[in-house]
Amino acid sequence: MLAPMMRLTCWTAGLLAAVASWVALESSADACGALPSGLQGTLPESGATYPANAALLFRGYDISLEGVSVTVDGEPARLVAVPDVSFWNALAARIEPTPGKGQGIVIEGDFCAPEPSCGVTRIELTAGDPDTTAPPAPEALSFNVYQYAPHAPNNCESPSSISWWITAVGEGAGAGESPVIYKVEAFRDDTFTEPVFSFNELVEASPVEMTIRGIRDTLSGTDGPEAMCFRIQATDAAGNAARGAVHACKPCNYRADPEGALPIEASDLGEPEWTSADRYPGGTCVPGVGAGSGGDGGGGGGGDSGDGEGDGGGGDDGGSLDDDTIVRGCSCRAAGSDGAAGGGALGGAALALLACAALVGRRKR
């Protein structure tokens, strides 16, 4: 039995309850009706060996763990919710008491209980060594912004007139390791003291691409391209958190439709085909813009102007960033090897990957 009980419902392009009410996350389907209820998959899959202390991820729509039980070597155990590593279409739960290495785990039940029924699913796992190693911090972060005429939604979407496409570069989980999860946070400005929303994203491949849609009127009078600063930190399903984070306050590309433009169609809400005219001053696509670095707790040493190294960015202590950081480093930075704040140049390969991801979106308009 799950303690406490968790239930997941369809949010397709709808409001994410955990974030500000105006933010909508894009999903892989275009309408709620296209998403069938039920369990779509698990991480790990049945038959796998999995770190004994890591949360299990159950992916699907309108699912519940209320009718699901777990045993360890035949003895009853509990599934305990781990909301810190849950994400929009997945429930996370760990097994208590923690299994010992080599013990057999059986999870069985109806993931649609109490109704409608999806039928019984059985998942068999073997407990592996506990995972006590933190994942690598994200390496780089960039985003693009498009402001368009208000989009009139259907009954399964939220209205929107601005979109952010966020790209993060980093490493996923290796063999025998817990799944890596990025915590994405948005703040009003570069002081990182006024949070707007946050959500989790599973790192299945690099780069990780995310889409956020909002309403222009809710930007508190701030210009769209610099309305929010983003920060991404890495953790894993075993609760190990990386030291260090990446942050970005200026976009790589920015486009705004002129006043009086016709409302955009739902089918055209994909990322535009960016051109050189869309490059934003001080953003990651501007030649000579360096990569700032910052840790999880305060500012760090800076580099000389134009050498590709930026000043350290503020971390969890909410420290502000100076003007030089905002111009040269805040759009993209590489985390230091030890996660501490300090200067550091973003490797050419990672920067090239960001540029490619920024120019070639998953959907082109």
Distance CA 120, CA 36 (A): 16
Position 263 scores a pLDDT of 66
- Provide the domain count of the chain: 2
Q: What is the 3-state secondary structure (H, E, C) of 42-97?
A: EECCCCCEEECCCCEEEEEECEECCCEEEEECCEEEEEEECHHHCECCEEEEEEEC
Residue 159 shares a structural domain with residue 120? no
* Terminal alpha carbon distance of the chain: 46
Position 37 scores a pLDDT of 81
In a domain, 134, yes or no: no
Q: pLDDT tier at 219 (50, 70, 90 boundaries)?
A: low
pLDDT tens digits for 17-31?
Answer: 223 333 333 433 444
Find the domain containing 252 and state its range: 140-359
Q: Residue 74 belongs to a domain with what CATH number?
A: 2.60.40.1220
Distance CA 123, CA 93 (A): 14
Domain boundary among 97, 128, 159: 128
Position 111 scores a pLDDT of 93
Residue 310 shares a structural domain with residue 253? yes
pLDDT tens digits for 29-49?
Answer: 444 455 678 899 999 999 999
> Do the beta carbons of residue 345 and residue 309 sit within 8 Å?
yes
In a domain, 291, yes or no: yes
In a domain, 160, yes or no: yes
Domain boundary among 128, 150, 174: 128
Residue 75 shares a structural domain with residue 122? yes
- Is the model's pTM score more than 0.75? no
pLDDT tens digits for 72-116?
Answer: 999 999 999 999 998 888 999 999 999 999 999 999 999 987 777
**Pick from 25, 271, 333, 229: nearest CA to 145:** 271
Residue 44 shares a structural domain with residue 98? yes
Domain boundary among 128, 155, 175: 128
Residue 118 shares a structural domain with residue 53? yes
Buried b / exposed e across 216-243, counting CB within 10 Å, b at 16+?
beebeeeebbbbbbbbbbbbbbbbbbbb
In a domain, 133, yes or no: no
In a domain, 216, yes or no: yes
